[in-house]
Amino acid sequence: DGGITQSPKYLFRKEGQNVTLSCEQNLNHDAMYWYRQDPGQGLRLIYYSQIVNDFQKGDIAEGYSVSREKKESFPLTVTSAQKNPTAFYLCASSIYSPDTQYFGPGTRLTVL
Amino acid sequence: AQSVSQHNHHVILSEAASLELGCNYSYGGTVNLFWYVQYPGQHLQLLLKYFSGDPLVKGIKGFEAEFIKSKFSFNLRKPSVQWSDTAEYFCAVNAPGGATNKLIFGTGTLLAVQP
């Protein structure tokens, strides 16, 4: 069953703690993306990676970090430097550019 | 910089009513256009897309969209909505030929269909 998985679905963390969100895909896609979704603001790009061991900042990368050590995995770390981390985080992938992006189910992060 | 505008933030319709959701973008060159839908509790999924060719594109579940280059628009339409169309709809644009497959999303339109 091909697709994108994100875990966990819900995540709670205390303020000041770093937290890592998982994103795995078995679609053999080269490109992967992280978005943040806030009510009334649509989706905003955090980071993207077009190939293993390479990634670029999106529009709102401050306070986030990523790695792309394997083609199928693109974890996102929300650091304590992110001022407003509570949000819904979506991971996506695509075969190549330009092409349709496929989205995972998302992780809802709440920082208490 | 590219931007996407969805002017309808909330739309409430009765079943069988016709739907048109507006989407305008700001970019003068060649664009790829998408409509995504997020049903309650489900993944964001592709409704339809336009890359080239016939500017009237048909998607899943009876949706269609028309690309009007002169108006920088890509409005989504459905002749008769159903309760199951209740969802949030996002328009997105990217500019091919650039270094990335960066999608710019609109802020979304929340559609509620009343039975």
User: Tens digit of pLDDT for each residue in B30-78?
Assistant: 889 999 999 998 889 999 999 999 999 999 999 999 999 999 999 999 9
pLDDT at residue B99, rounded to an integer: 55
Burial per residue of B1-31, b for 16 or more beta-carbon CB atoms within 10 angstroms, e otherwise: ebebebeeeebebeeeeebebebbbeeeeeb
Q: Average model confidence (pLDDT) for chain B? A: 92
**Of all helices (H) and strands (E), which one includes residue A36?**
strand A31-38
Residues of B with CB under 8 A from a CB of A: 4, 6, 9, 32, 34, 36, 42-46, 49, 51, 90, 92, 94, 96, 98, 100-103, 105-108
Is the pLDDT score of A97 beyond 70? Answer: no
**Average pLDDT rounded to a whole number, residues B3-10:** 92
Could you tell me which chain B residue has the CA closest to the CA of A49?
Answer: B100
pLDDT tens digits for A58-87? Answer: 989 999 999 999 999 999 999 998 989 999
Q: What integer pLDDT is reported at residue B95 of this predicted model?
A: 74
Evaluate whether A104 touches A92 at the Cβ level (below 8 Å): yes
Residue identified by tokens 């061991």 is A53
**Min distance B41 CA to chain A CA atoms (Å):** 8
d(CA B48, CA A40): 22
pLDDT at B101: 65
Spatial CA neighbour of B77 closest among B100, B55, B98: B55
Comparing alpha-carbon positions, the chain A residue that sits nearest to B33 is A100
Q: Are A92 and B45 in contact (CB under 8 A)?
A: no
In this predicted structure, what is the pLDDT of residue B102?
A: 80
Of residues B104 and A75, more confidence is placed in A75
pLDDT digits (tens, 9 = 90+) for A1-39: 569 999 999 999 998 899 999 999 999 999 999 999 998
Residue B97: pLDDT band by 50, 70, 90 thresholds? low
**Could you tell me what percent of chain B has a pLDDT over 70?**
94
In this prediction, residue B100 has a pLDDT band, given cuts at 50, 70 and 90, of: low
Q: How far is CA A2 from the centre of its chain?
A: 18
Residue appearing with tokens 């190939």: A51
Give the Å distances, CA to CA, from B57 to A49, B1, B51, B63, B64. Answer: 29, 26, 10, 9, 6
- Give the per-residue pLDDT at B98: 59
Please determine, for residue A98, whether its predicted confidence score (pLDDT) is greater than 70: no
CA distance A13 to chain B (A): 22
- Chain B within 8 Å of A84 (Cβ-Cβ)? no
pLDDT in the model for residue B27: 82
Mean pLDDT along residues B77-100: 88
Phi and psi dihedrals of B102, rounded to 5? -90, 120
Residue numbers in A near B46 (CB within 8 A)? 100, 102
